[in-house]
Amino acid sequence: MAAALTSRKARGSPGALGTGILRGLEAAPNMSCGCRTLTAGLIPPDATLYFDVVLLDVWNKADTVQVSTLQHPAHCPRTVQDSDFVRYHYNGTLLDGTAFDTSYSRGGTYDTYVGSGWLIKGMDQGLLGMCPGERRKIIIPPFLAYGEKGYGTVIPPQASLVFHVLLIDVHNPKDTVQLETLELPPGCVRRAVAGDFMRYHYNGSLMDGTLFDSSYSRNHTYNTYVGQGYIIPGMDQGLQGACMGERRRITIPPHLAYGENGTGDKIPGSAVLIFDVHVIDFHNPGDPVEIKVLSPPPETCNETAQPGDFIRYHYNCSLLDGTKLFSSHDYGDPQEATLGANKVIEGLDTGLQGMCVGERRQLVVPPHLAHGESGARGVPGSAVLLFEVELVSREEGLPTGYLFVWHEDPPVNLFEGLDLNKDGEVPPEEFSTFIKAQVSEGKGRLMPGQDPEKTIADMFQNQDRNQDGKITVEELKLKSDEDQERVHEEL
């Protein structure tokens, strides 16, 4: 009966909601009448009674769910709405502090839909408007919790409940990929489309900020085709439309990521994933070399660099994120090469062709025309290269297969010319002396870009058919005549 009295008394105290302990509540003698029959024999007449009272719970029919935010995250990408799916941790206690349940003992979050009847009404209301990372205290009166019946042995009838909630994650099954551009480099003309091959860095985190993966930790970009199903659907979508150098945040709901099961030990089931992506470069396997003229050719330029030409050029080579790789200026002298002779990467060879001496160009070279998927020393695999080139000089090349050409018709008595001492044989010394004389007199020229001594030695080898160190009149044959004969034989 004492309990009934204190209960009634407490209900009459407006604003006393909350855990409280009232000690030494005093009842005057004239208030204790009516107890006499029950306490007959125990309580002497005119006794003063003292009660020790502990208030366990208190509520009012007019009560609503009480929500207070204990901690608010710095950023709130979205808040909980009706029909959202949430993942949260909680500690549940009665008003007097007795714990009845906690998610922390289960090794995982509590995952459920909000406002769909899966939760007690008070929780459905108390979670609304909450941000991921937010901590709330939610006090729920019994008629919005387990009411008259309570729940099992842990929640007594008519108990108010107190939940301390930490919201981990929220999404809606109707959510799509969300994009946020964090940094857009100026002058972006090309945006990634499905089928492009992209290199990017990323930090992947959960909604509560937990980092689950980072390409930076591997010191290596993530490289993949976009829009072809090689990566999770949300990423496949989210990378499209990005510019080179762009930083974008891609927020992916679980149904476009790893679904209800999650993956590994870092990504829980039904987790929203947030990727902060930095696009380094992308290309399409069908891309040609992109050529942009930086300084136009001089007006006096009539002839441009062609395959076979021996050229000298300066270049700077970098990655598209600005990382400098190589420069001819590091060595002072220009780079030398014979065009079309497989001496330089295909894209650079192509980009140098058609240039005039004095012209400057910018070349964007996709990896399939550069160092390919495996890269090269200092060049990451699948990297797009950016060149700035300047053609310094150019020597016209010879037709394919020729080491020496006559500017006019060759001498009629070529062997007599070669056989300087007239002994019927031409050793290497005579051959070399003769060819050098032709060059210095401007009657013919050697293939550019190679040591003349080597070229002349090669020519001698070709003519000395039996390899005895001498050319005879029978052995000597002009290449043009040889080619002619070969054509006839083939015919």
* Least Å from the CB of residue 435 to Ca ion: 14
- Tell me whether residue 431 is one of the annotated catalytic residues: no
Catalytic site residue from 90, 146, 197, 202: 202
Cβ distance to Ca ion smaller for residue 22 or 476: 476
Q: Does 419 help bind Ca ion (rule: CB under 5 A)?
A: yes
Of residues 143-202, which lie at the interface with Ca ion (CB under 5 A)? none
* Least Å from the CB of residue 444 to Ca ion: 20
Q: Does 421 help bind Ca ion (rule: CB under 5 A)?
A: yes
- Tell me whether residue 202 is one of the annotated catalytic residues: yes
Closest to 295 (Cα-Cα) out of 385, 395, 386, 389? 389
Pick from 333, 468, 481, 483 the residue near Ca ion by CB under 5 A. 468
Catalytic site residue from 90, 146, 275, 313: 275
Can you state the angle between helices 428-440 and 452-463, rounded to 10 degrees?
130
Q: Does 466 help bind Ca ion (rule: CB under 5 A)?
A: yes
* Token pair in block for residue 373: 């998927």
Closest to 198 (Cα-Cα) out of 252, 128, 123, 277? 277
Cβ distance to Ca ion smaller for residue 333 or 468: 468
Catalytic site residue from 120, 138, 155, 232: 232
* Least Å from the CB of residue 416 to Ca ion: 10
Cβ distance to Ca ion smaller for residue 77 or 417: 417
Among the listed ranges 33-41, 70-78, 165-173, 423-431, the one in contact with Ca ion (CB under 5 A) is: 423-431
* Least Å from the CB of residue 474 to Ca ion: 9
* Least Å from the CB of residue 476 to Ca ion: 9
Q: Does 461 help bind Ca ion (rule: CB under 5 A)?
A: no
Cβ distance to Ca ion smaller for residue 346 or 482: 482
Q: Does 295 help bind Ca ion (rule: CB under 5 A)?
A: no
Among the listed ranges 61-69, 169-177, 444-452, 470-478, the one in contact with Ca ion (CB under 5 A) is: 470-478
CA distances from 105 to 26, 70, 263 (A): 43, 22, 22
Q: Does 416 help bind Ca ion (rule: CB under 5 A)?
A: no
Q: Does 323 help bind Ca ion (rule: CB under 5 A)?
A: no
* Least Å from the CB of residue 485 to Ca ion: 19
Q: Does 464 help bind Ca ion (rule: CB under 5 A)?
A: yes
Binding mask 112-141 for Ca ion (x = CB under 5 A): ------------------------------
Of residues 424-443, which lie at the interface with Ca ion (CB under 5 A)? 425
CB 252 within 8 A of CB 231: no
Catalytic site residue from 90, 163, 200, 212: 212
- Tell me whether residue 197 is one of the annotated catalytic residues: no
Under rule CB under 5 A, how many of the chain's residues touch Ca ion?
8
CB 280 within 8 A of CB 221: yes
Cβ distance to Ca ion smaller for residue 295 or 433: 433
- Tell me whether residue 104 is one of the annotated catalytic residues: no
Q: Does 423 help bind Ca ion (rule: CB under 5 A)?
A: yes
**CA 69 from chain center: how many Å?**
35
CB 399 within 8 A of CB 307: no
Pairing assessment for the beta strands 335-338 and 360-365 based on DSSP bridges: unpaired
- Tell me whether residue 387 is one of the annotated catalytic residues: no
- Tell me whether residue 21 is one of the annotated catalytic residues: no
The residues assigned a catalytic role are 202, 212-213, 232, 258, 275
What is the contact surface with Ca ion in residues (CB under 5 A)? 419, 421, 423, 425, 464, 466, 468, 470
